[in-house]
Structure 1
Amino acid sequence: MSGILYLIPSPIGSIKEVDYLTQSNTEILQNLKYFIVESEKTARAFLHYCGHNLDDNLNFIEYNEHNFNKINIDDWLKILKSNNSIGLISEAGTPCIADPGSEIVLRAHLNDIEVYPFAIPSSITMALMSSGLNGQKFSFHGYLDKNVNKLRQQIKILERESRLSGYSQIFMEVPYKSQKIFDLLLNTLKSDTFLCVAAELNTSEQFIKTKQIKSWKNFQVELNKKRCIFIFQNKNYF
């Protein structure tokens, strides 16, 4: 008999914002002994706040962009196959959605191991539902190209696709680049394109605005070092 791979989202904002966890989810979490995490330090703080006793029998493995190629997933599959369950915890938000973990989940499926997702405080979903843009048809692109010239071209292509298909285009960026990305969007997108900026969701600094580019150019906003979701759509206003 195999254990279960639990996908455990962590708070987008303050660690105290864990009311999305149901009682049954919390009880499962408190009894887990094995965890795959992006950062052991923040994972321990999250578990402590959720009431885990954090005894000496806990096992953590850090799985992030710095060590993808160094982790032997087979070792963790053996643990699951030995009737031990594992919690996969993201750093802030949802495992596998613009965060590590999808390869682990796929390997679990291929080995007939049950995958169980906890309730999700997704910044992507929160941003889209608050944007007023198309929530029926949309594309999420994660992080766009790091090269500025390629990024500008990519934005133009996505804008054209949005105009033709009606899709909202969603992406995110690391906090220290948020202001630069916002400025680039203002200088790249057409004046009638709608842009939603959703920053620091579910925190006291939450900011959500949707405006056409021509209106954004007359609006002052400071996004430096803020966690942002950007959504744009070139559509007819009605």
Structure 2
Amino acid sequence: MPGTLFLIPNSLGVPVTGESGFLAGIIPAQVSALTAKLDYFIAENAKTTRAFLKLVGMDFPLNRALQEIEIRELNVNSDATALPALLEPLLAGRDAGLISEAGVPAVADPGADLVRMAHAKGITVRPLVGPSSLLLSVMGSGLNGQSFAFNGYLPTDPALRAKRIKTLEDRSRQERQTQLFIETPYRNQAMLQALADHCQPQTLLCIATDLTLPTETIRTHSAADWKKRLQNQQAPDIQKKPTVFLMLAETQRK
């Protein structure tokens, strides 16, 4: 009988002083206890996963020594032909945990293809409760939570990025839909400036940074307000910090 593929939620970041009990306010104890029992993980990043398991082990003793736990990587650089081999231990009856670098796996994460293949091979898939930066940002933004779309990364080329911002703003206005996207952390400041420069003044923009961490900030203002804050150096420091950007354009009045 095949094992179970558990979709293990990771923290969205670790405070400078990682300590026992940190995960308790983010991930349910039952999830951490189950994670501690597994000895095979398919991870976006092995180093990050070891750090996460070390945190888990502070509250729930790991079933095996950390160096004895098998971790195989699955990330954007992985070839699709590598997926079957990752599932072979499960087909042999071994349970496994799929874990993202941060947040929940298979959402804005390369694990979705593995999950689909697991279903095709008759492997039970169990998603476990944990933090999703996308949902937390929608919850805290005050923007439309009835209809929203995640758009991944926007182009890095300034002209193409400006064009994409306009496209998303038009879609948001037409469908009254909140648009979400992310950026490589060291380009966050440039993204915020581009949004302030290219969005209509009344369009609402939310910047959600360091979610679930002591340094968490969630702020929603109009594009015009963000532009003034940037000019006056009153915007929060989001550079090199995990951030979700959200946009909601005002509908045109007749």
Same fold (TM over 0.5): yes
Percent identity, aligned pairs only, is 36
Tell me how far apart the structure 1 counterparts of residues 194 and 161 of structure 2 sit (CA, whole Å). Answer: 9
Q: Are the counterparts in 2 of residues 73 and 104 from structure 1 also a CA contact under 8 Å?
A: yes
The aligned runs of 1:24-173 (5 Å cut-off) are 24-51=30-57, 52-55=62-65, 57-65=68-76, 67-69=77-79, 72-173=82-183
Tell me how far apart the structure 2 counterparts of residues 47 and 155 of structure 1 sit (CA, whole Å). Answer: 38
1:76-110 CA distances to partner (integer Å, 9 max, x unpaired)?
22211111011111111111111220111010011
1:3-51 CA distances to partner (integer Å, 9 max, x unpaired)?
0111111111226542233333223211111111122222112112212
Residue 2 (structure 1) aligns with: 2
1:165-199 CA distances to partner (integer Å, 9 max, x unpaired)?
10010111111010000001011100010000111
Question: 3-state DSSP class of the match of 1:217?
Answer: helix
Residue 18 (structure 1) aligns with: 23
Q: Are the counterparts in 1 of residues 28 and 130 from structure 2 also a CA contact under 8 Å?
A: no
Tell me how far apart the structure 2 counterparts of residues 53 and 161 of structure 1 sit (CA, whole Å). Answer: 49
RMSD: 1.8
Structure 1 residues 111, 70: closer, same or farther in 2, change over 3 A?
closer
Q: Which amino acid aligns with 2:23?
A: V
Q: Which amino acid aligns with 2:187?
A: K
How far off is 1:236 after superposition?
5.4
Q: Are the counterparts in 2 of residues 6 and 87 from structure 1 also a CA contact under 8 Å?
A: yes
Higher helix share: 2
Q: Are the counterparts in 2 of residues 35 and 87 from structure 1 also a CA contact under 8 Å?
A: yes
Asked if residue 223 in structure 1 is aligned to residue 218 in structure 2, the reply is: no
Q: Are the counterparts in 1 of residues 202 and 222 from structure 2 also a CA contact under 8 Å?
A: yes
Tell me how far apart the structure 1 counterparts of residues 64 and 49 of structure 2 sit (CA, whole Å). Answer: 11
Tell me how far apart the structure 1 counterparts of residues 217 and 27 of structure 2 sit (CA, whole Å). Answer: 24
Structure 2 unaligned residues grouped into runs of 5+:
none
Q: Are the counterparts in 2 of residues 124 and 229 from structure 1 also a CA contact under 8 Å?
A: yes
Structure 1 unaligned residues grouped into runs of 5+:
none
Question: 3-state DSSP class of the match of 1:195?
Answer: strand
Question: 3-state DSSP class of the match of 2:228?
Answer: coil
TM-score normalised over the length of structure 1 = 0.93
- Structure 1 window deviating more from structure 2 (49-58 vs 80-89): it is 49-58
Structure 1 residues 211, 38: closer, same or farther in 2, change over 3 A?
same
Q: Are the counterparts in 2 of residues 172 and 229 from structure 1 also a CA contact under 8 Å?
A: yes
Tell me how far apart the structure 2 counterparts of residues 76 and 208 of structure 1 sit (CA, whole Å). Answer: 38
Tell me how far apart the structure 1 counterparts of residues 158 and 68 of structure 2 sit (CA, whole Å). Answer: 47
